[in-house]
Structure 1
Amino acid sequence: MKLRLSALALSLVAAGAMAKPVQVELWHNQTGDDEVVLQNLITDFNTANGDIEVKATYNGSYADIITKLQASIPARRNPEMAVLEVTQYGVFAEAGVLNDLNGYYAENKAFTEELQPFALEIGNYKDGNYVMPFNSSTPLMYVNKALLEEAGYEDMPAMTSFDEILDVAKTVQNELGADNVYGINTPSQFTRFGLVMQNGGDWVDPVTNKSGLADEATIEAFQWMGDLYHKHGVASAESVTDEKLVKQHFSSGRVAIHFDSTGNLGDYKRLLGDDLVVLPMPCTAECRVPIGGAGVGMMANVSDEKKAASWQFMQYLASANQSATWFQHTGYMPVNKNALDVESSKQLLAENPDFGAAMDQLPVAQGRARPPAMAWIRAQEQGIWESIALGQQDADKALKAFNRRVESRL
């Protein structure tokens, strides 16, 4: 009998040694230093949780991930988790291929209460909640102080309205334009959302899902943005058509004023150092900024065991210490309220007050509409925007025509 028990014990030990951790995969869009930080977080998680192994795979841009998911889900080759842009996950929620997170939030109330209000709001779609925010951002106004000083400004000028911003851009252009310097970059798509909201408009109302593209406030904001290039000549043609190139122009000291995501704050700080000034978005008509970036969605067609492992990892990413690490190294918004109470976060904000500008916008940050049509709207808007900014048609005519198409989609 003793021999049999020993053999049984040995077989159980052997089986335990052979047991593999639950493997789950995350598709993401992070590159460069941000991808390094993400991979380090995953390595720490895997080390601390021997029964789970998370693998992170880069799968291109937000649009690339959507396209690849649409192809992989019917073939059941999809990952357990995917980073999904916060206005474009609705197409998957509508199709029932994302797992509703409401039950997880209800079962983990202590964790849920730690999350920023926007962190829960942007995952809501109809009666479910489908993404947990990860690389969350708001737009900011970045200024190259050195260029303003060269243009004659001894102190930072007020830039809280469209007129004030344009005046500064014109001054820089007049003084430094001969040196291949521009006063401002035309806004990227994300910051076009922000400047429209600041002016009291909306692309699509996030509550009613009704188009606001024909509203006077929206049209006025688009016209001001487009006029920067074709009317006032304070921005380059590249800033209209190439969002990646304009980031390089600002970070290399060729542009004085630049609207961009908080997610690029760390990079700009490293490249421009003390010449960088970070300001909140101008409260032209009201103080309101969009939440950008993405959240992590869990696929519905995976096993319960993999869902449990995925949720454990998602909680980890949104916990105070990990949220603090991500915020400190990237500039993305901390999704956990307690992340700012971590000692290293306090030290960072004390030593680099520029990071505080993004935090100051947290109370006025809100999600954007996310019906399935938003992916189409965003793709089509780029062409509409270029036609306005290049002077091919005015914003009133272009947006009212676009609005009719959008309403048919919504």
Structure 2
Amino acid sequence: MKLRLSSLALSLVAASAVAQPVQVELWHNQTGDAEAVLQTIIDNFNSAHSDVEVSATYNGNYADIITKLQASIPARRNPDMAVLEVTQYGVFAEAKVLTDLNGYYRANGEFTEELQPFALEIGNYKGGNYVMPFNSSTPLMYVNKALLERAGITDVPEMTNFDQILEVAKTVQSKLGNSNVYGINTPSQFTRFALVMQNGGDWVNPVTNESGFDQQATIDAFQWMGDLYHKHHVASAESVTDEKMVKQHFSSGRVAIHFDSTGNLGDYKRALGEDLVVLPMPCTVECRVPIGGAGVGMMANIGEEKQQASWQFMQYLASQNQSAKWFQHTGYMPVNKTALEVESSKSLIEEHPEFGAAMDQLPVAQGRARPPAMAWIRSQERGIWESIALGQKSADEALKTFDKRVKSRL
């Protein structure tokens, strides 16, 4: 006997089919508390939007995501959105596998006006706009006040240039070095960008895309950073070669001065409490800091329906309340200007002024160059840096040789 469905049953089946939300997937690099906050934001979005359902998948660090995307796009197994580091998305923009967001920004003028000035600049590449900033950061100078006090420095100095920083690091090392304490950590790659910029140099000029590794200002900054370990002995060998271990050493109270992203402010505050002092980066020659972190890019091969759904989530992620939540829990800079007007943001900065330190640097924050060669440059720079910091080569020799290789790639 044939099964006959009533017109009411058919209507219910049709309505059920129509009601299915559009499924979109985000690849990200967040871990720990930051991943938990991101998942809360996603859960809130899904609860408030019946027509879109977002799922998030951790896919390793920035380099891991790039590698996996390069493999997944030709096979059409890519996600709908991916978190892309702000100097390395150019390779995908150049290949036209990312959606140009300019049309969405123009069609949503009120939302676009709420974004921080750096938001549109970071995603700009050859006239298109390919990532919306998400976990945006600037570097900061973190100081363990308790270690300085043990070394006889009762008031944390401003440390606005290389000489002042080195003087404090030497004092701590001379007083506390025998107790497995170090005066300073050598800078991470992100903060090496910053210290070069503040000395008047550049890795790659963000406007002309010309190499700056042969500039004397760049060479001098790298030499100062490398000398912290092999000449002055105020930093550990691990701080040269293992950035993850370095963070643990600062959190556990073994290092007095540490350069790092605003995105780690929440973790350091939880670890050190009132002993944590946050200072802006030094303005040795000029005040400039790089915008770090990543933005969310939308894939170009996912179809109109998924693109509209992805944009809906991207707007939510950068909205006032969600941007405020992200800033308050992580220390990353709020992408939305009005996020700082939320009472909970005001209260946080008033109670913990260190969360305002990154905001104070916004007027001098700049995007970095993002040509396709940047991923290669960053991977190669690590070996160059180690050769300088370990005393195997002078910065002049290492960087002038590297500069020739960089120019052949740009």
Q: Give the structure-1-normalised TM-score.
A: 0.98
Q: Once the 2 structures are TM-superposed, how far is the Cα of residue 16 of structure 1 from its aligned partner?
A: 1.4
Q: Once the 2 structures are TM-superposed, how far is the Cα of residue 8 of structure 1 from its aligned partner?
A: 4.1
* Aligned position for 2:377: 377
**Distance between the aligned counterparts of 1:14 and 1:158, measured in 2?**
68
Cα deviation 1:253-293 (Å, max 9, x = unaligned) = 00000000000000000000000000000011111000000
Q: Which structure 2 residues correspond to residues 370-409 of structure 1 after superposition, within 5 A? A: 370-409=370-409
Report the AA paired with residue 187 of structure 1: P
Q: Once the 2 structures are TM-superposed, how far is the Cα of residue 158 of structure 1 from its aligned partner?
A: 3.1
Report the AA paired with residue 12 of structure 2: V
**Distance between the aligned counterparts of 2:91 and 2:17, measured in 1?**
40
Query: Structure 1: which 5+ runs fail to align?
Result: 1-5
* Aligned position for 1:123: 123
**Distance between the aligned counterparts of 1:146 and 1:8, measured in 2?**
76
User: Is residue 83 of structure 2 the alignment partner of residue 69 of structure 1?
Assistant: no
**Distance between the aligned counterparts of 2:349 and 2:14, measured in 1?**
50
Report the AA paired with residue 298 of structure 2: M
User: Is residue 162 of structure 2 the alignment partner of residue 170 of structure 1?
Assistant: no
Query: Structure 2: which 5+ runs fail to align?
Result: none
Q: Which structure 2 residues correspond to residues 35-54 of structure 1 after superposition, within 5 A? A: 35-54=35-54
* Aligned position for 2:237: 237
Q: Once the 2 structures are TM-superposed, how far is the Cα of residue 343 of structure 1 from its aligned partner?
A: 0.8
* Aligned position for 1:257: 257
Cα deviation 1:278-318 (Å, max 9, x = unaligned) = 00000111110000000000000011000000000000000
* Aligned position for 1:12: 11
**Distance between the aligned counterparts of 2:223 and 2:157, measured in 1?**
23
- 8 Å contact from structure 2 (residues 29, 59) kept in 1: yes
User: Is residue 303 of structure 2 the alignment partner of residue 303 of structure 1?
Assistant: yes
Q: Give the structure-2-normalised TM-score.
A: 0.98
Report the AA paired with residue 17 of structure 2: M
Identity %: 80
**Distance between the aligned counterparts of 2:237 and 2:153, measured in 1?**
26
User: Is residue 341 of structure 2 the alignment partner of residue 341 of structure 1?
Assistant: yes
Q: How many residues align?
A: 405
* Aligned position for 1:87: 87
Instruction: Give the CA RMSD over aligned residues.
Output: 0.9
Cα deviation 1:51-108 (Å, max 9, x = unaligned) = 1000000000100000000000000000000000000000000000000000000000
Report the AA paired with residue 303 of structure 1: G
- 8 Å contact from structure 2 (residues 158, 279) kept in 1: no
**Distance between the aligned counterparts of 1:17 and 1:300, measured in 2?**
29
* Aligned position for 1:3: none
Report the AA paired with residue 379 of structure 1: S
**Distance between the aligned counterparts of 1:14 and 1:72, measured in 2?**
35
Cα deviation 1:12-70 (Å, max 9, x = unaligned) = 33211233210000000000010000000000000000110000000001000000000
Q: Once the 2 structures are TM-superposed, how far is the Cα of residue 10 of structure 1 from its aligned partner?
A: 4.4
3-state secondary structure, aligned to 2:340: helix
3-state secondary structure, aligned to 2:142: strand
- 8 Å contact from structure 2 (residues 24, 54) kept in 1: yes
Runs of 4+ in 1 over 6 A off after TM superposition: none
**Distance between the aligned counterparts of 1:251 and 1:68, measured in 2?**
31
Cα deviation 1:188-207 (Å, max 9, x = unaligned) = 00000000011111000001
